[in-house]
């Protein structure tokens, strides 16, 4: 085949590769973050993008939440700063068992 015929095929393959490797996964992550932000309720245990664990005390209008990080310690953060909901199963998986003291 001549290079004039192959060039459009290469361009189409390149554009499809960029879409499936770069654009589509980013859209999926953005959609998941929007769903997480909308599903936040009072009492949910969450982890922020900076690694702070806390319990949602209040969801305010304007995209902010009040997060209780300790007894009598509340912080106000943006809903977008919540990375994920913390679950006991996922947190326990990261804990290394300590040997029993003899």
| DSSP collapsed to 3 states, the chain | CCHHHHHHHHHHHHHHHHHHHHHHHHHHHHHHHHHHHHHCCCCCEEEECCCCEEEEEEEECCCEEEEEEECCEEEEEEHHHEEEECCHHHHHHCCCCCCCCC
pLDDT of residue 37: 86
- Residues 54-61, mean pLDDT to the nearest whole number: 92
- Residues 6-32, mean pLDDT to the nearest whole number: 93
Residue-wise pLDDT tens digits, 61-91: 888 999 999 999 999 999 889 999 987 654 4
Does 31 score more than 60 pLDDT? Answer: yes
Q: At 95, give phi and psi (nearest 5°).
A: -90, 130
Q: pTM of whole model > 0.85?
A: no
Q: At 79, give phi and psi (nearest 5°).
A: -60, -30
């Amino acid at each position: 085949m001549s290079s004039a015929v192959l060039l459009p095929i290469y361009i189409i393959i390149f554009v499809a590769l960029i879409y499936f490797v770069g654009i589509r996964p980013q859209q999926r992550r953005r959609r998941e973050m929007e769903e997480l932000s909308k599903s936040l309720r009072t009492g949910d245990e969450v982890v922020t993008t900076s690694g702070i664990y806390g319990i949602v005390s209040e969801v305010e209008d304007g995209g902010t939440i009040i997060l209780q990080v300790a007894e009598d310690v509340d912080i106000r953060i943006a809903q977008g700063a919540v990375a994920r909901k913390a679950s006991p199963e996922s947190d326990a998986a990261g804990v290394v068992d300590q040997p029993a003291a003899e």
